[in-house]
Structure 1
Amino acid sequence: MHTTLVLGGYGFFGSRICQALASNKAIHLLIGGRDVVQAQTLASKLSLNTDQGIAIDAHAPDLAQRLKALNVDTVIHTAGPFQGQDYSVARSAIGAGANYIDLADGREFVAGIAELDSAARDQGVFVTSGASSLPALSSAVVDRYLSRFSRIESIRHGIGSGARAPGLATMRGVFGYCGKAFSRLQAGRWQTTRGWLDLTCYRFPSPVGARLLGSCDVPDLVLFPHRYPDVHTVVFHAGFASPLGHLFVWCVSQLVRMHLLSSARPLVKPLHTISQWMEPWVSDKGGMFVSLEGVGIDGQPLKLDWHLVAAQNHGPHIPCGASIALAVKLARGDKLPHGAMPCMGLLTVEEYLAALQGFDVREIPA
């Protein structure tokens, strides 16, 4: 059996990944984290042996030795936030001869994973970062429609979440850049914008509807211009199910922009509590869109809009699709490239969404 360790396995995304992998007969699942009681409790809930829940510190200096002792074949790292992390976990996995997958959403973290390429190739292991909605699913959507364009010039995409608040680590990551400057390619020039500002309204297909969105710093902004060299605009926005909640974050971001507040991070914990309290009164529906513009193969202007909509608060399962699909591929012996790379070109849209079967997640193709 293929031993797969999910670090942060009882967390917000980790528990969802473990739920999907627990019944796979080709996988010996280990649920890892610093709290062995939580790990073993989840193992019991998933009808696993309690010893499949283990105490392990993702950042311990002896992590590589632990992974070797456990005979781990693949590590799935979900213990964010990844902004500000180094590659110690990935290096430990490589040192132990294990494959490595993470759900990182930090721009520099995902883009920089290629610095481990030589070490991963030498060990003959597969290492990827950003196995999540961005860039794994977003790039798969673009790749699917490439053949309909002679030239893609603009990629505008975004996510509107449902009511379910993500984990504290995820919130610390996304709110860390509230009001902070970052660059994105727009009209052929690298321009500066600020996190959660650039307020816009996007109308998702039913049942999601109109959502307020703000600009976010994501890996796609730097990865897509290299992957799709004809593109002159790459823009990403995200927003919350509650308009009032989104406007509150917009106001906080303005205070950071004006240097009246140094960072939004001290507000994360109370905001997380409030979000959980408000959940029953906020829409349980969310969505994702990818809009492509350019020149079609007939030489005429072409615009395509792809959507994914989720209900019943099943949206948080979407970021887990890539790691689930890749873990299944590795367990059944599919050939994945040796080396270290951002998670692009590794999954089709169909493979990604197949990992989400059973949830209220629906694709609306372009």
Structure 2
Amino acid sequence: MQVDTLIHTAGPFQGQDYSVARAAIEARCHYVDLADGRHFVGGIDSLNASALASGVSVISGASSVPALSSAVVDRYLGRFRRLDSIHIGISSGARAPGLATVKGIFSYGGRPFRSLQNGAWVDAYGWLDLRRHRFPQPLGKRWLGSCDIPDLELFPLRYPTVKTVSFQAGFASDVGHLVVWTLARLVKAGILPGMGAFAMPLNRISRWMEPVISDKGGMFVRLDGRGSDEAPLNITWTLIAQRNHGPHIPCGAAIALARKIASGAQLPAGAMPCMGLLTVEEFLEPLCELDISETVQ
């Protein structure tokens, strides 16, 4: 087969190996995946030598995180003399993600993972640290809980002045989110061995409930630090998706990268997380027909 670019979408990527990427390298084929597993994306550079030898690009994390989140930070980074913290959050609309995605995000429910907070690495727990976030209208207030993503590992290296990096996610249904939060608490307490067994039934229930849940979802990136005049500077970028178009957003990076490769654009050879390869505009352009909009505060 004459294949120029392979796009790997078969998650969950948490716990998956690099056999697909290695096969692409052996075939001298560019590779892009939509992974959001922290260790999968963070460890992709272990394939750098073989990707360089084959002259191909191996790009992991071409998704909302870290591709879009890092593009947002890069867009506004020049306005900061010192960037101190990055807070990222995503709240889904009614349309439930696929079962593989649910299994992936449930895999660390109630379990500890490392997070940089105020300059120190501390334990956060999956789907705990419950808080209420106010999105711009028409979303309004949503529950969020801590999740483990590549940005927690990658951003402190990419943005060395940063002392805090956090990520939280949530669901359109308050009841649904609080059920997930309760399961995570039971895992942390040692009452449940894990949340994996609940992935399929809760995914089914969420699909049954879809007609009565909000079809609107959103993502935010909040940056805090000091501006060029040393005064405190806070920027919050928000992406709002309506009509259940949110689940399509992670595809933007892979489409944009595939178009670049097909047009003859030279992407860096080697294996790397998807950071610094796309602007926000390039990420969102393939999604221009979707009901999504940006706001900046």
TM-score (norm 2): 0.99
Q: Percent identity?
A: 62
Q: Which residue type is aligned with residue 206 of structure 2? A: S
Alignment correspondent of 1:134? 65
Shift of 1:304: 0.5
Alignment correspondent of 2:137? 206
From 159, 178, 203, give the equivalent of 1:228.
159
Shift of 1:254: 0.4
Shift of 1:365: 3.0
Q: Which residue type is aligned with residue 89 of structure 1? A: V
**136-145 or 293-302, which moves further after superposition?**
293-302
| CA–CA separation in structure 2 for the residues paired with 1:103 and 1:71 | 22
From 177, 190, 193, give the equivalent of 2:124.
193
Is 1:253 aligned to 2:184, yes or no?
yes
CA contact 2:235–2:296 (8 Å) conserved in 1: no
Alignment correspondent of 1:96? 27
From 205, 211, 223, give the equivalent of 1:274.
205
Structure 1 runs of 4+ aligned residues shifted over 6 Å read: none
Q: Which residue type is aligned with residue 57 of structure 2? A: F
Alignment correspondent of 2:76? 145
Q: How does 1:65-80 map to 2 (within 5 A)?
A: 70-80=1-11
Q: How does 1:284-295 map to 2 (within 5 A)?
A: 284-295=215-226
| CA–CA separation in structure 1 for the residues paired with 2:223 and 2:183 | 31
| CA–CA separation in structure 2 for the residues paired with 1:224 and 1:338 | 22
Between the two proteins, the alignment pairs up a number of residues equal to 297
Alignment correspondent of 1:160? 91
Post-superposition Cα deviations, 1:86-109, rounded to whole Å, max 9, x if no partner, equal: 100000000000000000111000
Shift of 1:185: 0.1
Post-superposition Cα deviations, 1:17-70, rounded to whole Å, max 9, x if no partner, equal: xxxxxxxxxxxxxxxxxxxxxxxxxxxxxxxxxxxxxxxxxxxxxxxxxxxxx2
Say which one has the larger Rg. Answer: 1
Post-superposition Cα deviations, 1:138-194, rounded to whole Å, max 9, x if no partner, equal: 000000001100110000110010000111111000011110110100000001010
From 59, 79, 87, give the equivalent of 2:18.
87
Shift of 1:355: 1.3
Q: Which runs of 5+ in 1 are unaligned?
A: 1-69
Shift of 1:321: 0.5
Is 1:304 aligned to 2:235, yes or no?
yes
From 275, 280, 289, give the equivalent of 1:358.
289
Post-superposition Cα deviations, 1:202-226, rounded to whole Å, max 9, x if no partner, equal: 0111111110000000000000000
From 220, 225, 244, give the equivalent of 2:175.
244
| CA–CA separation in structure 1 for the residues paired with 2:223 and 2:208 | 37
Alignment correspondent of 2:196? 265
| CA–CA separation in structure 2 for the residues paired with 1:276 and 1:250 | 19
Q: Which residue type is aligned with residue 118 of structure 1? A: A
| CA–CA separation in structure 1 for the residues paired with 2:53 and 2:69 | 30
Alignment correspondent of 2:102? 171
Alignment correspondent of 2:214? 283
| CA–CA separation in structure 1 for the residues paired with 2:97 and 2:85 | 30
Shift of 1:342: 0.2
TM-score (norm 1): 0.81
Is 1:333 aligned to 2:273, yes or no?
no
| CA–CA separation in structure 1 for the residues paired with 2:180 and 2:81 | 40
| CA RMSD between the two structures | 0.6
